[in-house]
Structure 1
Amino acid sequence: MQTLLLSLLLATAAADATTEQRVYVLGSSLNLRKEPSAEAEILEKLQIGTECRVAEKLDGTWLKVRCGEKDGYASASLLGPEKPSAEKLKAEAQDTSLSLKQREDSALRAATLSPEDVELQKLLGTLFFERNLELVAGIKKPKTLRTFKHTCFKQNDSSCIGDAAVAGVKDVKIRVETKGFLFVVALGNAERVAVYRGRYKIDKAQVLTGEILESTGFATTSVMEKALFFDIKPSPSGRGDLAFGRFALDDASHAILDGLPREWAVLERSESGIWKAHWDDCLKRPYLLKFKPDIHGRWLLLIENVGMDAGIKSRWISAVSKRGNEIELTLEDDGVAATRELFKLPEGRGDIAYLGEKAYSFKLDRYPEVHHRCLQGGP
């Protein structure tokens, strides 16, 4: 009888040890899911240090846990029996013998545990950019996602890239770091952060040409917002600036537009049937139609008009489709209804295209010039 009682007590104790085993979230955050699958519904996001109790172990990959009042499944690799220590993680983040990836991860976890630690916030921001510069430097076969240009006005390289990134965008914070001729841009608002990694060069005329090699993003958290944009205020918004992400085109649209020359001379047929180019004597070049991409994956269509319509008409390209020799452009602007225009490409070996009824050539110096005098203060 005593043996049976002892066996029952031991069995009960073992069961209690399993059901009462305490574990703690080790990652900066952890998804508590409805089922033991990475695709299952997320019931709650648990912060580092959250205490849970193990209800069941499943194949070494998943644990069924109870965290507060919620039951669910969590990845076993991100749970451990020892509560994480901000001091220990901070020491790891400062340990230069560790990889940047390890140090950044430790800094993120430490800053999440101690959000009031300003030194940790700054360290996390520094490691984030060092790690991203390491990533872009390690790209073995760079493939350009998109390009952009910006004129620098006696600025350092980071400032010039930053100006290119905030141009035409509302209410974002931005930080740029460079190393050699590589750059990392982080910009964001209360909802999300975008990260661009790339390379650049600056010519003698101080025109910066940048190439985005990689682009990523993530939802903004208070920890990362403080780390990346410590003491940085949102860029001032101007008239016509767009919400972050508005009019950014997909990869297929980029491929179509990237296949076009960026600049086209404005042409007009004379009474004798000869094509001539309208020439701007102030700028010493023809009036142009321009396809202008920016760092965010947006494309602006600029048309320099002459005569009674003198001035620059600009519209954002919000959609692109191609059928045979024609490209349909959906053109938009805030406060202006969307319009669709056909851009008819040159046929055969020709160089003349049509946007609506107007003609343009990508051979800027081929045609006789119709000069427009340069008056004082402008054309």
Structure 2
Amino acid sequence: MKKTAPQPRLRAWASCLVVLSSALAWAQDADAAGRVFIQGSEINLRRGPSPKAEVVTKLPIATECQLLASVPKEWVRLKCGEAEGFTQKSLVGAAKPSFDALLAQALDTKASTQVRYDAASRAAALDSKNDKALDLLADLFFALAFEQLQKDAIKGGLHEAVWIQRKHSHSLGRKRTLEESFLWELEKIEYDWHQLRFRRGGFRGGFVSVMSRDGALVVYSGHIPPNAGKGEFGKDLDEFDVNIESRNSWAASEALKLALQKGARVPESGDTKYSALDNEYAGMPALSPAAFRLFRSLPPLWYLLHGKKGERHVLESCGIISGIKLSTDIHRRASFRSGDVHEVGEEPLTAMQITDVSKNGASYQLQLRDPEGRQSLFVLSWPTEELNVAHWDSKSGFFSGDYAVANARNIPVKENCTSDLGQ
């Protein structure tokens, strides 16, 4: 049987190859020839009676096989054409699967969403050109995803908060709306096609994003808080947060891919996806879950300190404050930005992508890489003996120094704005 995604929350709904044993009757009375049929959408025929055994071949639904033997732990030995191997007993049966019967089961609103989804998966595998089966499979896939999202939101979800910024679109000639900004952020990555659906509150509610990348399905689910776009800035809100509850990726069946691809978005030409100003590029590295957790534990904004120890202060010169910004996008791609972090209308002077984050005691190591592949290392010592003060150090010496957590109460800000105009 094809493996499901490794994440526990996906096992309930993600794999289109799952077959409920309660929905299939094992053929104790196989005919005299020992003939049985594959019942799952696609199964793995293995070298031995173990889910870890080598896969001999993959068999689609309704494949006719000869039953050779029944072995302990609910496995059977089959001969299917020239191939011979083992599969789970619940995945074969005496009756050949019927498209009409499976479609009727998928349409039965009295059955659970999981049972309906399994039936739709098998029906679509039998007839991948049937639009009704494909549409039903896609709808049930999202229905299961939203059911799981509701459970994750209560307990067990990632609960990752990501900030999305509204930016100007050159092709539109204006700032993107909140919805456009969210979609743009999701699609700011290489992909083949993308399906995005909202539930309960529309944009300000739950969402499930399914993207095809390199033959695999990448699925994000989460919530956009109901107050998005309703803050003190109203329609001019420049940032809003998105709460990610799950991230999953797995190789799905061709039937599910066909179902989800119908009506999906494809990459658009127009705006450049990646900003040269931010040193962004195709194939930017994403942090591992462990590195991402470390990165998120760090304050996102630091101000460069001036003065001696005990007389520390942040210097603000005509609205400009030098510092370091740490940020991450919705795809766990992290960036390090240094320079004038508070200059109105300008971006920080230097930006690099972070490839890894590790920690040793009170020392954080941030591995950085630019679009040309040049590597650099920043070491952050934090916390230190000074409250809300850290030391950033790089081998190159650039941007090394003591920095305070932004807006720390014990660190004063001194203004110094002079002009030579008229002199």
For Structure 1 versus Structure 2, the TM-score category normalised by the shorter chain is: 0.7 to 0.9
Distance apart, 1:71 and its partner CA: 0.4
The aligned runs of 1:1-379 (5 Å cut-off) are 20-59=33-72, 61-139=74-152, 140-152=154-166, 155=177, 157=179, 159-167=180-188, 169-180=189-200, 181-201=205-225, 202-203=228-229, 204=231, 205=233, 206=237, 207-236=239-268, 238-239=273-274, 240-243=280-283, 247-269=285-307, 275-279=313-317, 281=319, 286-305=321-340, 311-356=348-393, 357-364=400-407, 366-371=412-417
The answer to whether the 8 A contact 2:362-2:381 is kept is: yes
Between the aligned partners of 2:220 and 2:104, the Cα distance in structure 1 is 29
Distance apart, 1:341 and its partner CA: 1.4
Residue type of the partner of 1:165? L
Residue type of the partner of 1:162? L
Indicate how the Cα distance of structure 1 residues 346 and 280 shifts in structure 2: closer, same or farther if over 3 A, else same: farther
Structure 2 residue matching 1:336: 3-state secondary structure: coil
Between the aligned partners of 1:279 and 1:99, the Cα distance in structure 2 is 63
Residue type of the partner of 1:329? L
TM-score (norm 2): 0.74
The answer to whether the 8 A contact 1:103-1:127 is kept is: yes
TM-score (norm 1): 0.82
Indicate how the Cα distance of structure 1 residues 160 and 231 shifts in structure 2: closer, same or farther if over 3 A, else same: same
Indicate how the Cα distance of structure 1 residues 310 and 47 shifts in structure 2: closer, same or farther if over 3 A, else same: closer
Structure 1 residue matching 2:186: 3-state secondary structure: helix
Indicate how the Cα distance of structure 1 residues 200 and 311 shifts in structure 2: closer, same or farther if over 3 A, else same: closer
Unaligned runs of 5+ in 1: 1-15, 374-379
Residue type of the partner of 1:263? L
Structure 2 residue matching 1:368: 3-state secondary structure: strand
The answer to whether the 8 A contact 1:279-1:287 is kept is: no
Between the aligned partners of 1:274 and 1:94, the Cα distance in structure 2 is 69
Between the aligned partners of 2:108 and 2:216, the Cα distance in structure 1 is 30
Distance apart, 1:121 and its partner CA: 1.8
Indicate how the Cα distance of structure 1 residues 348 and 200 shifts in structure 2: closer, same or farther if over 3 A, else same: farther
Indicate how the Cα distance of structure 1 residues 277 and 98 shifts in structure 2: closer, same or farther if over 3 A, else same: farther
User: Number of residue pairs matched?
Assistant: 347
Between the aligned partners of 2:391 and 2:192, the Cα distance in structure 1 is 37
Indicate how the Cα distance of structure 1 residues 279 and 360 shifts in structure 2: closer, same or farther if over 3 A, else same: farther
Residue type of the partner of 1:136? L
Between the aligned partners of 1:347 and 1:263, the Cα distance in structure 2 is 17
Unaligned runs of 5+ in 2: 1-29, 167-174, 275-279, 394-399
Aligned to 2:27: none
Indicate how the Cα distance of structure 1 residues 234 and 314 shifts in structure 2: closer, same or farther if over 3 A, else same: farther
Structure 1 residue matching 2:374: 3-state secondary structure: strand
Instruction: Decide which moves more: 248-257 or 313-322.
Output: 248-257
CA RMSD of aligned residues (A): 2.8
Indicate how the Cα distance of structure 1 residues 312 and 120 shifts in structure 2: closer, same or farther if over 3 A, else same: farther
Between the aligned partners of 2:347 and 2:158, the Cα distance in structure 1 is 36
1:195-239 per-residue CA deviation (whole Å, 9 max, x = no partner) reads 122222214244331122222221144322222221334324735
Between the aligned partners of 2:87 and 2:120, the Cα distance in structure 1 is 23
The answer to whether the 8 A contact 1:170-1:241 is kept is: no
Indicate how the Cα distance of structure 1 residues 335 and 223 shifts in structure 2: closer, same or farther if over 3 A, else same: farther
Between the aligned partners of 1:256 and 1:121, the Cα distance in structure 2 is 42
The answer to whether the 8 A contact 2:76-2:88 is kept is: yes
Distance apart, 1:278 and its partner CA: 4.0
Whichever of the two has the greater Rg, that structure is 1
Distance apart, 1:372 and its partner CA: 9.1
Between the aligned partners of 1:131 and 1:192, the Cα distance in structure 2 is 19
**Larger helix share, 1 or 2:** 1
Between the aligned partners of 1:280 and 1:332, the Cα distance in structure 2 is 32
Indicate how the Cα distance of structure 1 residues 257 and 98 shifts in structure 2: closer, same or farther if over 3 A, else same: same
Distance apart, 1:311 and its partner CA: 4.7
The answer to whether the 8 A contact 1:345-1:352 is kept is: yes
Distance apart, 1:160 and its partner CA: 4.2
Between the aligned partners of 1:24 and 1:280, the Cα distance in structure 2 is 77
1:17-76 per-residue CA deviation (whole Å, 9 max, x = no partner) reads 66x311111111111000011111111121111111111111361111011110000111
**Larger strand share, 1 or 2:** 1
Between the aligned partners of 1:111 and 1:304, the Cα distance in structure 2 is 55
Percent identity for Structure 1 against Structure 2? 24
Indicate how the Cα distance of structure 1 residues 216 and 171 shifts in structure 2: closer, same or farther if over 3 A, else same: closer
Residue type of the partner of 2:302? W
Between the aligned partners of 1:258 and 1:31, the Cα distance in structure 2 is 40
Distance apart, 1:332 and its partner CA: 1.5
Distance apart, 1:142 and its partner CA: 4.5
Between the aligned partners of 2:186 and 2:286, the Cα distance in structure 1 is 13
